[in-house]
Every structure is written in structure tokens, then in C-alpha cells.
Amino acid sequence: MKTKFKVRVNDKMQKGYVYERTEVPGNEFDPMFKPDLTPKEMLRLGVFGGKYLNDCKAEFPKDWFVRAKLDREKHNYEINYFKINASQPLSVWQKKGWIFKDDPRGWFQWYCRYYMGRRIRAEDSRQIKRWRAMVRHVAQIRNNCRTGDMACRRRQRQALLHWAYDSRRF
């Protein structure tokens, strides 16, 4: 059952931003977008050095943050599942034009909002295209690592976790 629900955002990066959720959370994804991990699973595994969504908890379900690996003070790569830094600073993303005005934190913020039911056709298409391009890293791991060798290509594996690919499976 579809419902429309307005969300008001007031955090460090957005003041007075309002968007509408038009789909049931976790449902009605584009058929080309099949992430392995939910945002909740990603946060529990350890992504982005624990420095993501710390001031956005009111926007998302409380259970996403139960056992989430977060660091309130700084980016801490030890929190990441593979204990390695696989992130670029937000300034790099901004310089490359990868940031959409409605999601100033980048891809993961888009994914969280998409997962919760927000739809913005053109932006969804752009982000899904970017997500699909990450499959090249899956191929590199499969071609260069023994299945289950978590020490092989740890940075790529962590980066894939940041994009909702479960790199522990290959």
C-alpha cells in the first residue's frame, strides 16, 4: 500500500529541507537496482569510518542505529568492517560533481532516502547508474582473490560495502 509522507530535515547540512516518501520503505525499487545490503545492515557492518548520519538519526528508523558502528568525533577507519579507509573526503565528491543538491552527503544519503520511499526520477536513475558501475570492483575481486579470502583487496571490499554490495560473499 502506497502512502505519502512528508519528511522535514533539520541537520548540520540541511535546514528546512522537505521531501516526500511515496513508497513503502524497502519496496518498489527500480528493477535495475538490487543492493545486497540495507542501510541498517551497512551501518551495523561498519562503513564510512562511522562518521555518517550521526546528526540525522531523527530522519531514519531508530533501529538503524541500534548496534550501528558510529564515531561521533571523527572519521575512524577502525570502525569499518575491513578496518581500512576506503573513503574520499566530501570535498572530492563535490569537486567531481557527484553530489546532488537534495542529498549533500552523497550516495549513501540518497540510498537511505530511496530505501525509505523517496523517489526523484532523474536523480534515482543517475545514482542507480553509478551503483551499477561498481560491479567492476566485484569482477576484480572475483578475478584476483580466492573465494572467502577477506584479506585480499580489502580496500575494494570496503568500498563495495559503502555501495551496498556485500563483498563478504565472494
Domain range annotation of the chain: 37-169
Per-residue pLDDT tens for 29-39? 999 999 999 99
Dist. CA 79–CA 81, nearest whole Å: 6
CA distance 170 to 154: 12
Distant-in-sequence, close-in-space partners of 26: CB < 8 Å, separation ≥ 6 = 38, 115
DSSP 90-124: HHHHHHTT--BTTBTT-HHHHHHHHHTTB--HHHH
pLDDT score at 87:
87
Q: What is the residue-level pLDDT of the chain in tens, covering all 170 positions?
A: 567 899 999 999 999 999 999 999 999 999 999 999 999 999 999 999 998 888 999 999 999 999 999 998 889 999 999 999 998 887 888 888 888 999 999 999 999 999 999 999 999 999 999 999 999 999 999 999 999 999 999 999 999 999 999 999 98
